[in-house]
Amino acid sequence: MHPYVRWIEIDLDAIIHNFCQIRQLVPPAVKIMSVVKADAYGHGSAQVAGALAEAGTDMFAVTTIEEGLELIQAGIKNPILVFAPILPDQADLVLEHGLMPTIDDWEALHALASAAAQKNIKGSFHLKIETGMGRTGIPSLEVSQFLQEIKELPQLQLAGVYSHFATAMMKDKSFAHKQLSIFLQAVREIKREVSGEVLAHIANSAAILDLPDTYLDMVRPGTLLYGQYPSPYVSKKIELQDPWQMKGRIISVKKLAPGDSVGYGRDFVTKKPREIGVVPVGYADGFGVLPHTRPAKFYDLVKSTAKLLSQILGLIAPNYMIYGKERLPVVGRIGMQLSMIDITGKGIARGETVQIPIRRTTAGGKITRVYLRDQKISAIREVAAVQTQK
């Protein structure tokens, strides 16, 4: 047993299982680029990448150069694509560390060529094509002009071309098919004009499940690796395992009389005797923090409004923790680093463990990650400033 009072358990075997499910679904000739951006969706990029490299992934993808450097420092040898297009002044950095940059404008292209020439090396990159996401990538109509420019830059090698689906996770796939058509036209032109292997990839997790005609040379699973389906509308043709559990120990138990209050603002006042357990996790750790999204349809607005009203009326608990299979409601306001749960009549003692539902990508970086292999602790990622003696 470890000494932590709050931690996140990550089962690396579950992530490897999910990868193998994808590998079995996708034809052997199709490569897999495992997406480990955002600290591997909160699971820990270095540890997850190490497990996936062992499982046989071909490449990795991150969003930023900093994320790529973290993988390199962890000893990852697989090629690493940086999704965010580089700025011209970052060209030297990506070449120095062997990262695979994304290019989507002329200035960055020439900066990469200049940096490669100075180092007397061949600078490889992936070209991003804009097909309807509206974020990054060159317009498909500029592909011909871009190819001509690349031909005049012998210091560079176009290693890949890709785009990003906007709606593959939705029930209606018509826009995804439109994007694919635009992308395939660009791919045909590129492969006709460029010598050497150019990896074409567009399939994300949703497309891997529902759009096999998008596999092309490589697929890019992200969400699937972490045991989650991209949306309720995708098929569940592979069996996923959830690698993630946040846990905390009850550090204090208080017996309250009728009329006692709990937390800031006295939002919760007991009407009868209660037992309250205190768990050292709060909004600074991402607990109870949800993204604000605009309802896409009127039905979504009605559904979200009904849920909010039910919470206000106390019909459902907006936040809770789990003991065994039972939900324990959070009472009072969630504090910065402490939350209170109602454990009345449950026989729960100080020091016992509860599960804490939390959004993975917003879970605090200062929460210790405990990694499991074969149901045993294989590694622990602690906060650097407070290393625990072992």
The two tokens of residue 144 are 């011909």
* Cα 390 to Cα 259: distance, rounded to the nearest angstrom: 45
Residues 51 and 16: beta-carbon distance below 8 Å = yes
Catalytic annotation, pick one of 151, 255, 264, 303: 264
* Cα 140 to Cα 192: distance, rounded to the nearest angstrom: 15
Strands 244-249 and 6-11: antiparallel
- Dihedral angle computed from the Cα positions of residues 57, 63, 65 and 68, in that order, rounded to the nearest 10 degrees: -20
Q: What is the DSSP letter of 27?
A: -
Instruction: Identify the helix (H) or strand (E) that includes residue 278.
Output: strand 274-279
Instruction: Identify the helix (H) or strand (E) that includes residue 237.
Output: none
Instruction: Identify the helix (H) or strand (E) that includes residue 161.
Output: strand 156-162
The two tokens of residue 172 are 């209606």
Contacts of 195 (CB under 8 A, 6+ apart): none
Per the annotation, the verdict on 264 as an active-site residue is yes
On whether 336 is known to bind a ligand per the annotation, the reply is yes
Q: What is the DSSP letter of 208?
A: H
Per the annotation, the verdict on 272 as an active-site residue is no
Catalytic annotation, pick one of 37, 128, 173, 247: 37
- Beta-ladder partners of 139: 130
- Beta-ladder partners of 123: 156
Instruction: Identify the helix (H) or strand (E) that includes residue 145.
Output: helix 143-151
**Cα 366 vs. chain centroid, distance in angstroms?**
17
Number of C-alpha atoms within 13 angstroms, CB side, residue 219?
Answer: 28
**Cα 122 vs. chain centroid, distance in angstroms?**
31
* Cα 173 to Cα 179: distance, rounded to the nearest angstrom: 10
Residues tagged in the binding site annotation: 135, 336
Residues tagged in the binding site annotation for substrate: 135, 336
The residues carrying an active-site annotation are 37, 264
